[in-house]
Amino acid sequence: MSGVAELARPEIRALRPYQPAAAADGVRLNANEAPWRQQWDDTPRGLNRYPEPSPQKLAAALARLYEVDASHVAVTRGSDDAIDLLLRVFCRAGVDRIVVCPPTFGMYRVAAQVQGAGVISVPLLAERDFALDSAAVVAAAGDGAKLIFLCSPNNPTGNSIPQRTVAELCTAVSGTALVVVDEAYIEFSEQASATRLLSVYPNLAVLRTLSKAHALAGARVGALLAAAEVVDLVRGVMPPYALPSLSIDAALGLADADYQACIENRIRQTRRERARLSVALAEMPAVVRVWPSDGNYLLVRFVDPAGVLRHARSRGILLRDFSAQAELANCVRISIGDPGQNDALVAALEEYGNG
């Protein structure tokens, strides 16, 4: 035991999780389910049956994918769910706090507000291409922080946090806080996952998802990778049948022999398109700056973002406006589409430039 569980809320540590009906084979008269399927239901297990409570096969497949032991995997409904679960396990309302480093993914702050946890903001260093101010993070964490959320690659700025920095932070806050590295976009980056640090730092948690590189955003499957004690606490607060059978079955496609090769091809294509789009955008007079990106998106500063968004919309293309956020004046985030979609975007922006 590393002691990291002691950071959790006392009432969660004392919780006796709900015991769902056993999922063993047999005549299931133990879960008040319907004994018949809908006529159209040709799913392997039958949708009349509750899904497996903690899907073992899926946890094992994710453990293989992320190269960790299955005891370090909690299967979640995407990373959004993992963020919410961590807040509920670790933060007492009105007492504990989290550290966020904006501009970054907005759900850390929302989940904290829902839980009644305080939010300490340590902005990324805009003048240093949004590098993490790790000394300021450590200083801020001393002010009652239980969770430090780092996003790498960061959404929407696209930069990654060096692993050395993650390791140093884990050491600096050991015994007081959990460092949570959200790696939703890591597959698009050249940087290795922080999962390799898990065996060294029990106060590290890594969030992974099948929503991005694995093209399964609609299935809502992700994983919290952390010390076994943290995984047990998180599993304990999840509803008993959190993941729908359809999502479990869809995600089990991971185990297919061709699957990984196909995903790797798509990732290579996304990286190529990211480079191509970045060059094309940087040459446009409407563009002030394109930041380098390790994700499947680009952060772009335009002369007139409202005009760009309007014109793109008129051509049926949706972009994400970030211009109202501090440090992101005039910035728009552009997801990398397929080659045809990216061509359409470039054509629309050239047309806008000439208009």
Ligand X SMILES: Cc1ncc(COP(=O)(O)O)c(C=O)c1O
Binding residues for ligand X, rule: CB under 6 A, are: 78-80, 105, 151, 155, 182, 184, 209, 211, 217, 222
In whole angstroms, how close is the CB of 184 to ligand X at the nearest point? Answer: 4
Q: Could you give phi then psi for residue 267, rounded to 5 degrees?
A: -65, -45
Neighbours of 63 (CB within 10 A): 18
In whole angstroms, how close is the CB of 223 to ligand X at the nearest point? Answer: 9
Residues paired with residue 100 on neighbouring β-strands, in sequence order: 121
Beta-sheet pairing, 297-302 with 331-335: antiparallel
In whole angstroms, how close is the CB of 8 to ligand X at the nearest point? Answer: 22
Sign of CA dihedral 272, 275, 276, 278: positive
Q: Which one, 110 or 280, has the nearer CB to ligand X? A: 110
In whole angstroms, how close is the CB of 160 to ligand X at the nearest point? Answer: 12
Q: Which one, 54 or 247, has the nearer CB to ligand X? A: 247
Q: Which one, 80 or 187, has the nearer CB to ligand X? A: 80
Q: Which one, 55 or 222, has the nearer CB to ligand X? A: 222
In whole angstroms, how close is the CB of 266 to ligand X at the nearest point? Answer: 17
In whole angstroms, how close is the CB of 103 to ligand X at the nearest point? Answer: 12
Encode 303-339: b = buried (16+ Cβ within 10 Å), e = exposed. Answer: eebeebbebbeeeebebeebeeeeebebbbbbbbbee
Q: Which one, 202 or 222, has the nearer CB to ligand X? A: 222
Distances in Å between the Cα of 315 and the Cα atoms of 19, 336, 349, 351 are 53, 17, 10, 10
In whole angstroms, how close is the CB of 321 to ligand X at the nearest point? Answer: 15
Residue 38, token pair as written in the block: 């809908």
Q: Which one, 124 or 151, has the nearer CB to ligand X? A: 151
In whole angstroms, how close is the CB of 63 to ligand X at the nearest point? Answer: 17
Q: Which one, 37 or 109, has the nearer CB to ligand X? A: 109
Residue nearest to ligand X (CB): 78
Q: Which one, 212 or 311, has the nearer CB to ligand X? A: 212
